[in-house]
Amino acid sequence: MNAGIESDVFDQLLEVVRRFTQERLIPAEAAVEEADDIPEDIIQEIRDLGLFGISIPEAYGGIGLNMAQETLVIEELCNASLAFRSLIGTTVGIGSQGLVMDGTEAQKQAFLPRLATGEIISSFALTEPDHGSDAAHIQTTARRDGDDFIINGTKRYITNASRAGMFTLLARTDPDKEGASGVTAFLMPAGSPGISLGTTDKKMGQRGTRTCDVLLDDVRLPSSAIIGGPDNLGKGFYTAMKVLDRGRIHLSAVATGTSQRMVSIATEYARERKQFGVPIGQHQLVQALLADSQTDLLAARHLCRAAARKYDRDGSAVLEASCAKLFSSEAAGRIADRCVQIHGGAGYIADYQIERLYRDVRLLRIYEGTSQIQQVIIARNMLK
């Protein structure tokens, strides 16, 4: 069982994150949206607070939160623009956790302390032009050449690729094996010869986040770069699935935090905006929109926290993680739609925060496993 850090220390951390989010990040949202980038001074403040290292064990310089504690911090952070969470998200989650879970001691010593401080950022290179959710059939190849592997392929929509100091890379090491058994996970330094990046993607929402293609042309990595060492050849898919199990709980907290922000904005608007001589919150149909949103929010929060507790207790929560990710991301979409409706015409105008949030949350139902993939995972686990 993962106990995390002491409760009084954690309470202090959570309060610091709450104040930082409200006093520093939310006021910076408009500038981030306009520039499509996060100012360097804010990135440094995030480093100084230790937020890149919240999930990294204390033995390697991190804060060492358990999953339940991490969800509370992420929920608080996601009261602000999701771009800020995205900045740390790959290091806190899918970019580093394969190393934390399955890496050798030498690999951990080489990377985790620098990840914990934000000196380098990690990124997770799984998705390809023709293979996103179908992770078992990726086509990036890793051909053995003596004690090295020569890697070729293209990875797509890779979050923080342009900021990354290292990648967790999934590549096919055995072309004769179909499916999961031929895939290996590598630790790939971002400065490795043969890596080039595509242009930064222009996205519907979450401006300030960075995603792009990662192009791999005869990138040479030693067998010691395999996560867990050479004995873990062909086991990368299983590392990825463990990482995504944990990441889906994290994303449930992301959805819950931004849902809380939207509900708060819409509630305040319903108090202040008047129609027919009274605040619109006095009209029952507006009250219904608020009530349904609050119900979705609380259900998402409790699902997320229950999945996190099970993960900390058992070390796995495949069914619960997928349930939490599915429900909370879909709920965020419903809440966003209702909150725009409460604002009426103003909800469609970019001057109002809810328009941006409506665009931002759409991605939550797609990455780290679409809603449809979550449904498949849930059903398969029910039928076992």
Q: Which residues contact 382 (CB under 8 A, 6 or more apart)?
A: 319
Chain centroid offset of residue 64 CA: 18
Packed helices 236-272 and 353-360: angle between N→C axes, nearest 10 degrees:
160
Q: For residues 281 and 272, what is the distance between their CA atoms, to the nearest angstrom?
A: 8
Q: For residues 139 and 224, what is the distance between their CA atoms, to the nearest angstrom?
A: 22
Both tokens assigned to 357: 């949030």
Give the residue from 255, 258, 360 showing the smallest Cα distance to 304.
255
Q: For residues 230 and 82, what is the distance between their CA atoms, to the nearest angstrom?
A: 37
Both tokens assigned to 157: 């929509």
Both tokens assigned to 154: 């293209």
Give backbone dihedrals phi and psi of 193, rounded to 5 degrees, phi first: -55, 140
Residue 178, classified by CB atoms within 10 Å of its CB into exposed (0-12), middle (13-18) or buried (19+), is exposed
Identify the active-site residue in 76, 128, 355, 368: 368
- The SS3 of residue 38 is coil
8 A C-beta contact, residue 253 and residue 192? no
Cα radius of gyration rounded to whole Å, the chain: 21
8 A C-beta contact, residue 355 and residue 348? yes
Both tokens assigned to 46: 């995030």
Q: For residues 305 and 249, what is the distance between their CA atoms, to the nearest angstrom?
A: 8
Give backbone dihedrals phi and psi of 209, rounded to 5 degrees, phi first: -80, 160
Q: For residues 171 and 126, what is the distance between their CA atoms, to the nearest angstrom?
A: 8
Give the residue from 108, 102, 112, 1 showing the smallest Cα distance to 54.
112
Specify the residue for token string 């360097």: 40
**DSSP element (H, E) containing 164:** strand 164-172
Q: Is 368 a catalytic residue?
A: yes
Catalytic residues: 368
